[in-house]
A and B are shown apart, each in its own frame.
Chain A
Amino acid sequence: MNTHINDNQDTHTQAADSSGAGFDAAEDTGDLRKELMQPHPTGAAAARKPPSVPLAPMKRMQAKFNPLADGMVYLVVFLGGCVGTALRYGLWLTLPYPGSDSPVWMAFHPATFIANMIACFLFALLTSYMSQAIWIRKRVRQLTSRGLGMGMCGGFSTLSAMMVEDITALHNSGYLSFIIYTILSFIAGIAVAWFGSWLGLKLTSVRSASLAVADALRHQEQPKPAIGVRVPTDTDADAAPMMPHGDPNPQTDEIPVVHADPLTGEVK
């Protein structure tokens, strides 16, 4: 905090010096850029602890400002949780615990393990896909990641049932199987999730590459002049376009296009 304030003061004094010493255009723009790069709050915002403005009471009730006031998300999460639980419970009914007595596989419940692995894969795929899929509307992405990701995959996978199976095995003194089952679940889950997120990025990269190509092609097509209008042919201006198209990392001050949290993939 302190260093920031000092920096700001330095910039200000530099700016004053340069304008007083003489009119040097290059230095002037440099100082201006420096000033623009560094935020210099004034008034109450310049205090050591800037006051945080609370949301107006009516805005707190709106879904736009408060995710907990979003009724649609509750519905979507509930339905997703129902479907996920139905899948897990159905899998558990069709694939009952074989009741092994061996010390290695005593804790291993195939239904829980398979449900966890499928859920890990789907969640990773969905999260990485939704964090990149800018061609889908934001609200659709938000509801999809809430309903399918948080609701369905979260309800499909379960840690508590796994822990119950672990402690049941421990109760029957299957110590080795407890360790094997837990470690196997986590290692396989991480591998599957890694593959899922890789696949999601792969799928979106194909789509966004084709979008970029289409965009570049659209820019290349010159609009045809109307009949009878004389178009000045300046070859130099044509050779050096104002904006380079197809730059993979354009340096702009625009808001980044991806609105999703890169860590969780959640669209806020």
Chain B
Amino acid sequence: MMGEFLLVCACGGLGAVARFVLNTSIQRWWNRVFPLSTLVINITAAFFAGIAASAYFYQTVGYFTYLLFVAGFLGGFSTFSTAINEMVSLAKSNRIVMALGYFAATVIIPFLMIVLGWWIGAMGR
């Protein structure tokens, strides 16, 4: 039980490191105000979460694998707080339209990606 817990935590740490690397790499060539890096990170995380959820739903993988991957790695990789704070800071700097667009993109695109991931995971049933 304790080992499981620590393994999930370590996977979360790995997810956070992966997010740091991807975030820094995207910000190196993307020098506009729109927070593309967080959006890309959340889209990627949602896609893999969709695959994992459908794989667990159709019993392709066991519960512990699912837990390790979704609660651990993808939980550390995807971020809600950064996205929300980027919306707030965009709104505070009077970029209301961009903030609303970012909000819509953060809700809609990850949802479509999770549906796509679910569909892909269901194909291998």
Instruction: Report A's interface with B, CB cutoff 8 A.
Output: 67-68, 73-74, 77-86, 88-90, 92, 116, 119-120, 122-124, 127, 146, 150-151, 153-164, 166-168, 171, 182, 185-186, 189-190, 193-194, 197, 262-265
Contacts and interface: CB of A to CB of B under 8 A. Distances in A.
B88 A194 contact: yes
A88 to B, nearest CB: 6
Nearest to A115: B80
Interface residues of B, number: 58
A63 B114 CA distance: 36
Contact of A159 (B9, B35, B80, B93): B80
A49 to B, nearest CB: 16
A73 B74 CA distance: 20
Interface in B2-41: 5, 8-17, 19-21, 23-25, 33, 35
Contacts of B20: 73-74, 77, 146, 150-151
A122 B23 CA distance: 20
Contact of B93 (A78, A168, A263): A263
Contact of A160 (B14, B70, B84): B70
B105 to A, nearest CB: 12
Given A154-B81, A155-B12, 6 more contacts: A85-B11, A123-B85, A155-B15, A155-B76, A160-B114, A163-B114
A124 B75 contact: no
Interface in B35-82: 35, 42, 45-46, 48-50, 52-53, 57, 70-72, 74-82
B78 A85 contact: no
Contact of B9 (A82, A116, A163): A82
B115 interface: yes
Listed residue (A77, A155, A163, A264) with the most chain B CB atoms within 10 angstroms of its CB = A163
B118 A167 contact: yes
If over half of A's interface residues share one DSSP class (helix, strand or loop), that class is named, otherwise mixed; here it is helix
B74 A77 contact: no
Nearest to A131: B89
Given A68-B24, A157-B81, A80 B16 contact: yes
B114 A86 contact: no
Contacts of B120: none
Q: Ordered nearest first, which 8 A-B pairs have the shortest CB separation?
A: A85-B12, A81-B16, A160-B49, A157-B80, A82-B13, A81-B13, A157-B81, A119-B81
B115 to A, nearest CB: 7
Given A82-B13, A150-B16, A163 B110 contact: yes
Contact of B53 (A86, A124, A167, A262): A167
15 contacts: A80-B16, A81-B16, A85-B12, A150-B82, A151-B20, A159-B83, A160-B74, A161-B75, A163-B50, A164-B114, A167-B114, A171-B57, A186-B103, A194-B88, A262-B93
Contacts of B75: 85, 88-89, 155, 158, 160-161
A167 B107 CA distance: 13
A186 B108 CA distance: 13
A82 B10 contact: yes
